Structure 1
Amino acid sequence: MNRILLTTSVTYIFFILTNLNVFGQGCVAVRHMSCSAPAMSSSDLFKQSQYSKWQVSMGYRYLHSFRHFKGTEEQKERIANGTEVINDSHSFDIGLNYQFTNRLSFAVNLPVIINDRSSLYEHYGNSVTDNPSQARFHTKSNGIGDMRLSVNYWVLNPDKHTKNNILFGLGVKLPTGNSNVKDDFHKLTKSGQDSIVNRAVDQSIQLGDGGVALNLEVQGFSQLASKTTLYYNGFYMFNFRETNKTLNRGTLIGVDPIIAYHSVADQYAARMGINQSFSFLEGFSVMLGGRVEGVPAHDVIGGSKGFRRPGYIVSGEPGIAYMNSKYSLTCTVPVALARNRIKSYYDLQDPTGKRHGDAAFADYFISVNVTRRF
């Protein structure tokens, strides 16, 4: 029975990631979106959680993206020429989980985001002719992101199955984050004077996407030995809206209608790995696993028009964890193994097949989560 359940969960994640014809990640338009239910990386943590009606969590994620890819090929000349786009993102995920029964729970998550983006091309331009001093300027966005609400249910009775279990979650994402954040962009006049244009910041640092979405989540664990546990979790976010009201280039003049506005894209992530605890270090454990996350080129529900930079990143994910009767702490550092900026819906409309946009990715990111049980 346990083997069947494990196989079913893995198949479920694999189906989401491969049979839906959707992959992706932008520059970087992957928003901080962990599973709503507290992640279980060991059977001991699962047992502790079952005796807690309330759980409060704080997640933190930092990334520094700067390496440009077109497909799987890195555009190394961007860094060599100093024209790379740099995104620095700090995301704080505030979560609250209430356990109605030992199987049924409700969760709410609200991200708070701080973004900084610097570039040449969005301001004076990349070329030495347009931008003789190669001046780089910054745009920013700060505030709350899109809230998520979910209901989660353990498939097996936790009182009888403490070494293997699977949780499924169903939730909704609400457009509480501003999807039309604006900032000042520097432009040179014909006389060479600096001027300011206030318009929407790049899609990758917008706080929200402006859409209501459906979230499907799965997570589980299987104790392989007394101190060794297999863990896995993932989600897929189905956005119903095709585009929002944010102008991609600040104007409709000379812009292809397909990419005139920002796309409201689907998103996904999945993780799987091993948690190893130690008798001589009570409460501590190490983790090693893999992770994939991205934004698709085509949405499952509704249209896929609008501006987006689809692609995905596959990472190796080492980490450490600590838990006691009230607290649990995990820290992981996913390191990029593969990055792919696939063709967008707009790229695919090119009859020559040559159009292929690029996107910037990070080498790694830092993810920390602290949970307090009551």
Structure 2
Amino acid sequence: MKKFTLMLLSVTALYIGSINVYAQGCVAIRQFSGLGNAVGQGNMLEKGELNISANYRYFKSFRHFRGSHEEPNRIEDGTQVINHQHGLDLNISYAFSERIYGIVSLPYQYNERSSLYEHGRTERHTTYSQGLGDIRIGAGYWLLSGEKAKKGNTAIGLGIKFPTGDYASTSTFYNQGENGEEQIKTVDQSIQLGDGGTGFIVDFQGLWNLKGTYFWYYDGFYLFNPRETNGTPTNRRRENEAIMSVPDQFALRTGVFNSFEKIHGLGLSLGGRVEGIPVRDVFGGSNGFRRPGYIVSVEPGISYMKGNVTGTLNVPIALLRNRTQSVTDIENSTPDDKVHGDAAFADYLINFTLAWRIPKKVKSPFGTLQ
């Protein structure tokens, strides 16, 4: 049982915390993650224990898609939009009991967006945003306990996303107006720090032993954003796209993990994931500007655990990228002219997590701390 528990720790450290949704491009309006998957090692905490983790993510989006069709001419012509996005989440979980845990996630972001079309279409310039994102808090419940959970378990969670991130971030835009002066305007939706809506999260996560040191993992979440628009101008010309939408978001992952017996603490995984933004929200209206779409990726990963500290690296590699037709695209279309906006996507996402599990009793030079 002890050997199995150590394997579970290694597996859980690898896959939980790596579902953070960046959507790897202009589809998502910001990085985000499900609550239960934002922390790591949550199902191995005993009552009174803590888990603290820092999750860093980075991607560069530059390949333009309209539907699932790539437009390589954008790169050839030098007209592509290039986003560099960095995210750092500080996540803390606490076990109230063997089966109930609480979570808080504090995100910080730094973003750069380089383009021609936002700066008079004559010169390439860069806009920026940085600061606190939308804070998430919540709780989860493991369905099994004791001997029933020795081969695996599944948890369901509920949470709230607070509109703490600036959803009207501004930067300097060049070659504006008739005289080509500089102007301070709101940045593109893809690099806004928040969406301005209070969201409700439903998530799940699970882990099951298949045979020996092989495990099946799965996790996912859906963010319900009832607010329709947030009042932030998009600086776009069409009237129905003048204000930013507050969209739902979703993600789903599954795969297989192997914990190596001969190299204690080392684990490898291979899985798949899908993530994105729907065309229409489940609750509330769906008007305003958004770039809906989804990404299907293959996701290799590696982890190493030393004592109560674990480092993990996941690199989702995009296989399918689809910028779906939005509500405003449909509204602006005619029988003779189908409107279908584009979006820039990345080839891959770098996702690194460092987690520290704090047992209830911690040894120190001064004795045992309760």
Instruction: Please report the TM-score for the alignment, with normalisation by the length of structure 2.
Output: 0.86
Q: What are the residue-to-residue correspondences of 1:20-31 with 2, within 5 Å? A: 27-31=26-30
1:238 aligns with 2:224: yes
Aligned to 2:249: 267
Q: What are the residue-to-residue correspondences of 1:165-314 with 2, within 5 Å? A: 165-187=153-175, 190=178, 194-249=180-235, 255-256=238-239, 258-314=240-296
1:345 aligns with 2:322: no
Counterpart CA distance in 1 for 2:63 and 2:95 is 42
Percent same amino acid among aligned pairs?
45
Letter in 2 for 1:342: T
Q: What are the residue-to-residue correspondences of 1:13-52 with 2, within 5 Å? A: 27-37=26-36, 48-50=44-46
Aligned to 1:373: 357
Aligned to 1:83: 79
Counterpart CA distance in 2 for 1:164 and 1:121 is 51
**Residues 315 and 350 of structure 2 are in contact (CA less than 8 Å); yes or no, is this contact kept in structure 1?**
yes
Q: Tell me the matched-pair count.
A: 334
Counterpart CA distance in 1 for 2:200 and 2:173 is 35
Structure 1 residue 110: deviation in Å?
Answer: 1.2
Counterpart CA distance in 2 for 1:320 and 1:278 is 11
Structure 1 residue 202: deviation in Å?
Answer: 0.1
Counterpart CA distance in 1 for 2:289 and 2:24 is 13
Counterpart CA distance in 2 for 1:52 and 1:371 is 17
Cα pair distance change 1:159/1:144, threshold 3 Å: farther
Cα pair distance change 1:40/1:284, threshold 3 Å: farther
**Residues 36 and 204 of structure 2 are in contact (CA less than 8 Å); yes or no, is this contact kept in structure 1?**
no
Aligned to 2:129: 141
Cα pair distance change 1:278/1:303, threshold 3 Å: same
**Residues 25 and 83 of structure 2 are in contact (CA less than 8 Å); yes or no, is this contact kept in structure 1?**
no
Structure 1 residue 136: deviation in Å?
Answer: 0.6
Cα pair distance change 1:226/1:53, threshold 3 Å: same
Structure 1: gaps spanning 5 or more residues:
1-23, 126-130
Structure 1 residue 182: deviation in Å?
Answer: 0.5
**Residues 46 and 162 of structure 1 are in contact (CA less than 8 Å); yes or no, is this contact kept in structure 2?**
no
Letter in 1 for 2:321: R
Letter in 1 for 2:45: S
**Residues 26 and 310 of structure 1 are in contact (CA less than 8 Å); yes or no, is this contact kept in structure 2?**
no
Counterpart CA distance in 1 for 2:75 and 2:328 is 26
Q: Which moved more, 1:49-58 or 1:159-168?
A: 49-58
Letter in 1 for 2:59: L
Structure 1 residue 370: deviation in Å?
Answer: 1.4
Root-mean-square deviation (CA, aligned residues, Å) is: 1.9
Aligned to 1:19: none
Q: What are the residue-to-residue correspondences of 1:1-150 with 2, within 5 Å? A: 27-37=26-36, 48-50=44-46, 53-125=49-121, 131=122, 135-150=123-138
